[in-house]
Structure 1
Amino acid sequence: MSIDDCSDVSGAGNYLFTQNMTCDITITANDVNIHGNNCVLNGNIIGDNSSETENGYNFTLISLIAGNVSSSNNGYVSSDELNAGSGGNIILIDSNVLEIISNGGHSFQGGGNCGFGGDITLINSSASSITSNGGTAQTGSGIGGNGGNITLTSSSVSTIYSNGGKGYYEGEGGNGGSITLNNVSGVTIISANGGDAYGTGGNGGTVLFNPDICPTSISSISVLGGEGSSNGSNGTITPSGCGQ
């Protein structure tokens, strides 16, 4: 199926750009593969879901230049019988975009557990920043969501955030995400902290560079455990001491 106007993508399948366009494209289905054909989208790819409990939509971008890309859960659960939706999973192959955002949903007013950040994968691609944080509990006893898993291969990015969300009252903080960077360039700041909580703080995430060399571009890496009545454990960085 071709994309030659600014119509929404509402069904699973393969879609092909036939020309450059200036608009936003909204995705409302999972298992969507958009083949950019090296075209330029002067606009954003939006796969967010505002439903309380449903996840952001999963999609893949191939050979596309675009603006911001998102697949967050933008809802808030308000019942302890419901858990918030998570961010969707986003894959970029041979593509260049600005910000990538896939955050988990939040809970409030006695809501249940928060959503996780979505999993983000870049292959031979670039982005200015990646954010995949777990959702935050604002009242009640909700557990904070975990940060998403982020994997980059032969790609470039400046900043990466995959923090656990805050827990509330007896709820635990979410854990920081797992970040794997294979032959990555340009990265300056990485944050994969555990979420704070009144109860147990979330654990810090993991950051792994392959090859096992700390890039000279790094200015800061943080994988701290969240604070609480019992603090979460700090995460791990390989190579040890990188960004500290």
Structure 2
Amino acid sequence: MFGLFKSAKPSRVAFYSKDAVLEEALQEHTAAYFHSGHTLSSFSPEARQRIVNDLRQRISNICASPAGTQELRRHIAEHVLLYAALTVFALTEDEKAVMEYGRNPYISGQLHHHIRRTGELHDEMRGQLDRGLSHHELVAFANTRAAMMLYYANALNMVRIRRGDTAPARDWYRPFVEAMLVWEEDNARERLGLPRLVPGELHGLPYYGFLEMVLAGENDPVRRWKQKFPQLHLDGNVSPL
């Protein structure tokens, strides 16, 4: 482990000192994301420390908020949405074939062919276009930023679970990530005038509905979403109703 969480100032780690299990989980999470071979492993020790300190401060602020659970869900959703958009922009067909959500027919692995056009839809990507990066460099940038957003989202999700915000039968986080990947791909396809993959008149809007359920505090958004949209594909790893 890098010991990054333990090296910060004590005033910023009060939450973790009260929860050794969460502290250990976040240590392991951080080590996994910054180990050799991971997309984020090229970051300097100083850059890693800044990221970890920022994450810790966010968690500390959220947990001090009277609306802690609601705040957690909002921050998780923000980071998952950023991860999803950047991922579908850069994802290749080969990567889709081995990814966790690769069985979903509405995630194509084809938008990377249009990354200059999709980049115009995203503030961070637009800034890279202005720098004149090559296709390969744009894909690499999107993958790196997506990995960072997932680092934040997964860590915040660990906090959510430790705070008891869980569904009685199954957790909603992974299906939520999948739903946002579908939503972001459909949204990009609509804006670029590409063929839509999600069937029906609503196309990807039902997947956006999953986000609304999460933000509304729905206890079991997976069950409710599947009841509402039984004809659509979502997370083959989740047991049927």
**TM-score above 0.5, yes or no:** no
Q: Which has the higher contact order (CA 8 A, sep 6+)?
A: 2
TM range (shorter): under 0.3
Structure 2 length normalisation: TM-score? 0.27
Greater fraction of residues in helix: 2
